[in-house]
Amino acid sequence: MKKYIFKALKYLGILVGLLLAFVIVFPMLYPEYVTEKVKKLANDNLNGELNFSKANLTFFTHFPSLTLNLDDVLLKGSAPFENDTLVSVKRLSLGIDVKDLLFSKKIDIEEIYLKNAFVHIQVDKQGGASYNVYKSSEETTDEGDDDARVDLQRIELKDTRLIYDDKSTGIYIQANGFNYLGKGGLEESIFDLRTKAQIQSLDFIFGGETYLKDKHVNAELITQINTHSLSFIFQQNDLKINQLPVDFKGKLDFLSNGYDLNFEINSKDSNLNDFFTALPPQFTQWHKKATLKGKTDIFFSMKGKYIASQNLSPDIFFKMKVRDGYVGYEGVPAPAEHLFLNVETSLPSLDVNKVGVKLDSIYFTIGKEYFSGILNLNGINPPVIDAKVRANINVANVMNLLDMKDLEVKGMLLADIKSKGTYAPEQKLFPITKGDLEFSEGYVKTPYYPNPITNIHFKGKVENTDGSMKTLALQLNPLNFLFENKPFTVNLAMENFDDIHYDIQAKGELNIAKIYKVFSQKGLELEGYANADVSLKGTQSDATNGRYHLLQNKGSIELRNIKTTSEYLPKPFIIQQGLFRFQQDDMRFTNFRATYGKSDFLMNGRMSNVINFLFSKNQILRGNFSVSSNYIDVDEFMYASPAPSPEETKDESTTTPTATVASEKGVVIVPKPFDFNLNANLKKVVFQGLDILNLKGSTQLKKGTLSLKNVNFNVIGVTAQINAKYGDETPKRAHFDFDIKAKNFDVQRAYKEVKLFREMASMAKDAHGIVSLDYKVAGKLNDEMLPIYPSLKGGGVLSVKDVQMKGFKLFNVISDKTGTDALRDSKLSTIDIKSEIKNNLITVERFKFKVAGFRPRIEGQTSFDGKLNFKMRLGLPPLGIIGIPIKITGTQENPKIGLGKKSKDLEETEYDVNSEATNEEKDTEIIQEENHHPDRSDDSNGNR
């Protein structure tokens, strides 16, 4: 028996020895062969650059698999990320089929192992991805020698760091400590992939908002993959996010132009505490000190096609139940108990206007206090509401449980409100409502101001009996509060919102600067003081129909140092002082002093239709004022869109704010709902470097149009008269129309100081003397308040009186060509030059003049970019009967002179008012092109 045992052990030892020798010796026979074949396989199938420091072949890394180990592997991404890292791994191991290598010398890669890897996937805003490194079948070369191929059965990642940064969708994912094991016949066209995954820390950011931060994830997945149709079926997917177990099932199909989605996420009978562990980071700090009990069910689904080109989006549905919940918080003696919550939310086609919310119930108690409510919301535009709220609760208890330390609110809230129906004021619909609301012993304190608002008390009542605006009634009797030892009281009663019956009293003092700081952010300063004693009582129809004797509107509001902002103005408008007095339908201004930037105003007058303007939409506020000012800077009123908030760019692990982009320029915005007549007396008005002095006349602001009628002013040393209209069309475009008359002004001063004159009469650069102007022009302005030249239309007369054309290139070139100095530095007198502007061209009618015995006659066109097409007859002395026909082309800086009458007409540029989607960009390009035209020079001030 011993003999047979020793013999068996002997053979076993020999076998083990041979096997050990095979394991040691066999890899030594093929290292270079296997390495070269793998390199060839990579080069044939990868577009990205692949590098590694060394390679070795062994059985011992992942026994019993024969493994090719590649150290310090670096794979670069595909365009446009060819210089960026896609995969960096300390050691990449490839499991190889020994049988195929031994008997047929073929390399079948069946397993891939990555350890201590960094995977950085990037997608730019245009959808270009760094992971497109695998060549398509059209790109690969088939030489008929199938020496190496990928026949994966296993993928394993250990301690991997993964970043997915997709700028096209705004998705950013970072996974640290990522361990992954996937098994399946990955070489098949349809196969099941069995996966185990663990992530120590997962971050998920979408649209700049963080939804998951440092979450721990465990997953066991079975996914059916169809490589022909690129379809994924998630058959069995058990996930655990922190402590919350989640069942995830669904299907994802990649379409040629989008995706077909069908996902369901379900978590049944989970602990309420576990649910909060999976929530976004803004809940994390609160949850650490909270005690949560109870059970919850959660369901989420996303179904439908996402095809951006066809405007198709999936439907989203969310449902949550909480049963017998308990919420306590560290240091708060009274917990919320008996918490019940049933909520369903639907978002068809990701359309917010179709959102549906069904808050079937929310209920909790705090001691003997309670809150109970339901809410059904169907759609947004317009919303259909079914709501009930009953409460008897101290708001301070709720604030303490939510740890709202920055905002301190106290007071007993009593509520009993029912509302059901459609809220659509434009259709005169209001939900049938009956509700009572009372708040007593109120107290509000924020971290922005040391003193609170106290003694807040109000009783409110709202009622609607038939769903129309006619039966809507609102009462607030009274609202009292105390701030900085100053009491303020408001009583309000309103009914019949089709024809509002109002009864409002307000009395008290408010330090607006301080009360604003109670609710404002740190660092934002605002001053202001108001003292009100107002009583308004009447009916809207009486105000509309002029039955002012039936109104009982009286009282006054005194304002001091009020700073206001508006969507129309880029800077704050500051009311230094002003007294408003109400008298029936009028509100009178007395010594209303204000500033805006460097500009100052003093106004006296009255406004009417105030009640209709306050209570109804689309009403016009009318007024008559006298306005005086020492200084107004029009440029300060130009619209400036808000600067975009800093975007955050992400590197491998951090987010870095980029520089803030400057706000965009725009035109001066004219408020639309006003009809004001202004008698102006303005000492100095500055506009784009031009000083306008002693402007006096009638100004009207009506429905977004500013009109000047027979307004006189001093400019460039002369008195001028203007009739004009101006209105904005978009924040970046405006229209204007003016008729100006100015006599006997210095042409050289006008050229230097008036930009529009410089653009329209560029030949005046070389002129010295006195001229007069009677001209009409209409057109559009761009976002720099500069004219869009193709849009200009108009005409008029430029009268010349004793003008010396010193250094005028056109006449000098003609003198050179004709061999006479008569026109060189010629002096002109008593000439009326008529012209017309249209389609980017200035057409000059025929005009004659005498100079040094010659009788020139000129007519033709010039364009706003300086091109010339003039015809000239140079009448020879003594009577000009014999003349030389001359054609003038080229540009103003480089005129070309030739004999003859025929020349090519200048090309017109029509303004296309129907292509405004791109016109704002075109306008900017036109201005830029003109500012950089090679044939036009700038003066020392940079002006043309």
User: Can you tell me which residue has the tokens 């058959």?
Assistant: 235
**What are the Cα distances from residue 149, in Å, to 36, 105, 141, 185, 186?**
13, 12, 13, 14, 12
Angle (nearest 5°) at CA 806 between 801 and 808: 100
Q: What is the pLDDT of residue 939?
A: 39
Q: What is the pLDDT of residue 931?
A: 38
Beta carbons within 8 Å of 797's beta carbon, 6+ residues apart = 773, 774, 775, 832, 833, 834
Split the chain (944 residues) into runs of 10 and give each run's mean pLDDT.
70 60 50 63 67 73 71 84 88 74 64 88 79 59 53 81 83 88 70 81 82 84 69 73 82 74 87 83 80 92 83 89 93 92 91 89 93 92 93 93 86 95 91 95 83 91 94 92 89 92 89 62 55 88 83 84 67 79 80 87 85 77 89 80 44 38 69 87 85 90 89 89 91 91 86 72 73 91 88 91 69 69 70 91 89 83 88 81 85 82 84 57 41 37 33
Beta carbons within 8 Å of 5's beta carbon, 6+ residues apart = none
CA atoms lying within 13 Å on the CB side of residue 722: 19
Confirm if 475 and 458 have CB atoms less than 8 A apart.
no
Q: What is the pLDDT of residue 662?
A: 42
Given the DSSP bridges, would you call strands 632-633 and 674-687 parallel, antiparallel or unpaired? parallel
CA atoms lying within 13 Å on the CB side of residue 831: 24
Instruction: Give 127: exposed, middle or buried? Use CB within 10 Å, 0-12, 13-18, 19+.
Output: exposed
What's the predicted TM-score (pTM) here?
Answer: 0.60
Structure confidence by residue, pLDDT tens digits, 182-214: 777 656 667 677 888 888 988 888 777 787 888
Phi then psi for 818, rounded to 5 degrees?
-95, -5
Confirm if 869 and 880 have CB atoms less than 8 A apart.
no
Report the alpha-carbon distance of residue 595 to residue 572 in Å, rounded.
9
Q: What is the pLDDT of residue 104?
A: 60
Report the alpha-carbon distance of residue 288 to residue 903 in Å, rounded.
86
Q: What is the pLDDT of residue 527?
A: 59
Distance of CA 846 to the CA centre of its chain: 53
Q: What is the pLDDT of residue 536?
A: 87
User: Across the strands, what pairs with 735?
Assistant: 727, 780
Is the bond leading into 382 cis (omega within 30 degrees of zero)? yes
Confirm if 112 and 134 have CB atoms less than 8 A apart.
no
Report the alpha-carbon distance of residue 172 to residue 645 in Å, rounded.
19
Element (H, E) at 27: helix 2-29
Q: What is the pLDDT of residue 935?
A: 37
3 state SS of 217:
strand
Q: Which tokens in the block code for residue 105?
A: 């010398």
Contacts for 256-259: CB closer than 8 Å, 24+ residues apart: 257/307, 257/309, 257/310, 258/305, 258/306, 258/307, 258/308, 258/309, 258/310, 258/312, 259/305, 259/306, 259/307
Please count the residues of the chain. 944
Cα distance from N-terminal residue to C-terminal residue, the chain: 117
Return the DSSP state at 473. E
Return the DSSP state at 135. P
**What are the Cα distances from residue 809, in Å, to 753, 829, 907?**
22, 19, 23
Q: What is the pLDDT of residue 45?
A: 64
Beta carbons within 8 Å of 928's beta carbon, 6+ residues apart = none
Within a 10 A sphere around the Cβ of 655, how many other Cβ atoms?
Answer: 13
Report the alpha-carbon distance of residue 573 to residue 593 in Å, rounded.
11
Is the bond leading into 280 cis (omega within 30 degrees of zero)? no
Q: What is the pLDDT of residue 357?
A: 92
Element (H, E) at 246: strand 244-254
User: Can you tell me which residue has the tokens 């300086």?
Assistant: 866
E-strand ranges in 514-585 read 529-539, 554-566, 569-583
The one-letter amino acid code at 810 reads L
